[in-house]
């Protein structure tokens, strides 16, 4: 909840900005770490969800590793103190430059997605006289039951290696002297709230493990990816994921052999609830059938609603009005799709009111763009508030 202190502070600031609740972030990290470490699980944070410097610092300090999907993310992770032996690098289209950067950083592991890529990594590693550790990203053909734009584990997806290609992959690994096979990697989708999906993933991984055994390939690392979903509808009452239940699914269903490590790559679940996008109402436009609330934030600051029809709670945090009105909440960008949601029930709103768009900490600020030559969106942190209050 935003208190009067928050609102007073926000009123002094230029909008729009991302407001980070670093306390909630810390609590979330602690809850996740405790649940994971009780089973000796390793958690890598997927930087792509949010690479705000303060967020990265907090996550690094909490002991998490880093899951990167670009060479620059690898560099950012190292620059923020993630040790190279806790950095993994995934992605369907790693360029030579990015692979070289990761080899130079001596990262823990490449999560590799194709035979072609294995050959390239081998060649580049050979040129540097290095051995690249490899986990194979397998497409387990598990339906994540999530929005089709964020499903990644089905056969018709661009991600991962399909099971019928695995023999060729193993033959390639055998022939590449600068690759060391260390494990298997899976990531079936994002914003998964149905725990059966993770159970199905475990059962599939168990089957695949037997097959690798038969081929004489020892798996040291079982990396089951990320994808744990958050509650976009109840950011207050359900502000943290149930990490205990999540990890217990793997404990109960994943067959782990002695000496094997289980790795996770959580992004959204660690950061989503800890930020809100704060904006102001610029204008209220009353049409014949519709009322538009025109904000000073749009798809250039938070594109999820426009890109994935994502739902975010939208609140007017400064209105004193007791009347409720239905608004289409839109941004200022010259695109009809620049709409956060239609028919949002809000207290009667006026120019200057503060609007909070909640659960914006994942895939929010990182996807901000300069379209329409907009200013880069600012970030404001809760810890600064403490300092200001004490002044």
Ligand X SMILES: *Cc1c(COP(=O)(O)O)cnc(C)c1O
Annotate each residue in 356-385 with x if it binds ligand X (CB under 6 A) or - if it does not, as one string.
Answer: ------x-----------------------
Cα distances (Å, whole numbers) of residue 375 to 49, 83, 298, 332: 21, 33, 12, 13
113 forms part of the interface with ligand X (CB under 6 A): no
Smallest gap from Cβ 372 to ligand X, in A, equals: 27
Could you tell me where the DSSP H helices lie in 215-308? 243-253, 268-271, 304-308
Interface positions, 23-42, toward ligand X (CB under 6 A): none
User: Structure tokens of 82?
Assistant: 């993630």
In the bound state with ligand X, the residue whose beta carbon lies nearer, of 125 and 362, is: 362
Cα distances (Å, whole numbers) of residue 140 to 65, 82, 160: 24, 29, 9
Q: Please, what sign has the CA dihedral across residues 212, 226, 231, 369?
A: negative
Smallest gap from Cβ 88 to ligand X, in A, equals: 8
Q: Residue with structure tokens 């709670």?
A: 313
In the bound state with ligand X, the residue whose beta carbon lies nearer, of 69 and 221, is: 69
Interface positions, 173-192, toward ligand X (CB under 6 A): 187, 190
Annotate each residue in 210-229 with x if it binds ligand X (CB under 6 A) or - if it does not, as one string.
Answer: ---------------xxxx-
Smallest gap from Cβ 268 to ligand X, in A, equals: 4
Binding ligand X (rule: CB under 6 A), the pick from 90, 103, 314, 368 is 90
User: Structure tokens of 69?
Assistant: 């999907």
Annotate each residue in 41-80 with x if it binds ligand X (CB under 6 A) or - if it does not, as one string.
Answer: -----x-xx-----------------x-x-----------
Per CB under 6 A, the segment of 79-87, 174-182, 246-254, 263-271 that binds ligand X is 263-271
In the bound state with ligand X, the residue whose beta carbon lies nearer, of 269 and 313, is: 269
Binding ligand X (rule: CB under 6 A), the pick from 86, 133, 263, 268 is 268
Residue 18's beta-bridge partner residues?
Answer: 277, 379
In the bound state with ligand X, the residue whose beta carbon lies nearer, of 265 and 315, is: 265
Q: Are 381 and 54 a contacting pair, CB within 8 Å?
A: yes
Contacts of 340 (CB under 8 A, 6+ apart): 295, 302, 305, 312, 314, 329, 330, 331, 357
114 forms part of the interface with ligand X (CB under 6 A): no
Determine if the peptide bond prior to 5 is cis (ω within 30°).
Answer: no
299/333 Cα distance (integer angstroms) = 7
Region of residue 159 (left: phi > 0; alpha: psi -120 to 50; beta: else): beta
266 forms part of the interface with ligand X (CB under 6 A): yes
Q: How many residues line the site for ligand X (CB under 6 A)?
A: 18
Which residues here bind ligand X, judged by CB under 6 A?
A: 46, 48-49, 67, 69, 90, 187, 190, 225-228, 265-269, 362
């Amino acid at each position: 909840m935003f208190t009067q202190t928050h609102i007073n502070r926000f009123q002094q600031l230029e909008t729009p900005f991302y407001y980070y609740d670093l306390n909630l972030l810390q609590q979330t990290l602690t809850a996740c770490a405790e649940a994971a470490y009780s089973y000796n699980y390793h958690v890598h944070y997927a930087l792509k969800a949010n690479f705000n410097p303060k967020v990265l610092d907090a996550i690094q300090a909490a002991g998490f590793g880093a899951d990167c999907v670009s060479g620059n993310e690898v560099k950012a992770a190292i620059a923020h103190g993630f040790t190279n032996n806790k950095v993994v690098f995934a992605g369907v289209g790693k360029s030579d430059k990015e692979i070289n950067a990761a080899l130079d950083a001596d990262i823990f592991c490449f999560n590799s997605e194709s035979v072609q890529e294995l050959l390239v990594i081998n060649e580049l590693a050979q040129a540097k006289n290095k051995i690249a550790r490899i986990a194979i990203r397998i497409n387990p053909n598990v339906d994540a039951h999530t929005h089709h734009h964020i499903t990644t584990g089905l056969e018709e997806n661009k991600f991962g290696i399909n099971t019928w290609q695995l023999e060729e992959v193993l033959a390639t690994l055998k022939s590449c002297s600068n690759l060391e096979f260390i494990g298997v990697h899976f990531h079936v989708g994002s914003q998964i709230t149905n725990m059966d999906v993770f159970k199905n993933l475990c059962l599939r991984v168990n089957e695949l493990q037997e097959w690798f055994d038969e081929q004489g390939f020892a798996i040291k690392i079982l990396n089951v990816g990320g994808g744990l979903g958050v509650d976009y509808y109840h950011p207050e009452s359900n502000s943290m994921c149930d990490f205990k239940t999540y990890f217990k699914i793997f404990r109960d269903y994943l067959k782990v052999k002695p000496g094997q490590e289980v790795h996770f790559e959580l992004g959204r679940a660690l950061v989503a609830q800890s930020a809100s996008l704060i904006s102001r109402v610029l204008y209220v436009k009353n049409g014949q059938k519709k009322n538009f609330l025109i904000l000073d934030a749009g798809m250039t600051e938070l594109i999820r609603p426009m890109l994935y029809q994502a739902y975010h709670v939208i609140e007017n945090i400064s209105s004193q009005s007791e009347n409720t009105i239905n608004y289409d909440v839109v941004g200022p960008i010259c695109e009809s799709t620049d709409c956060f949601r239609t028919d949002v029930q809000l207290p009667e709103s006026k120019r200057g009111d503060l609007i909070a768009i909640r659960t914006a900490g994942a895939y929010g600020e990182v996807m901000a763009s300069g379209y329409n030559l907009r200013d880069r969106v600012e970030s404001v942190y809760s810890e600064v508030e403490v300092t200001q209050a004490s002044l």
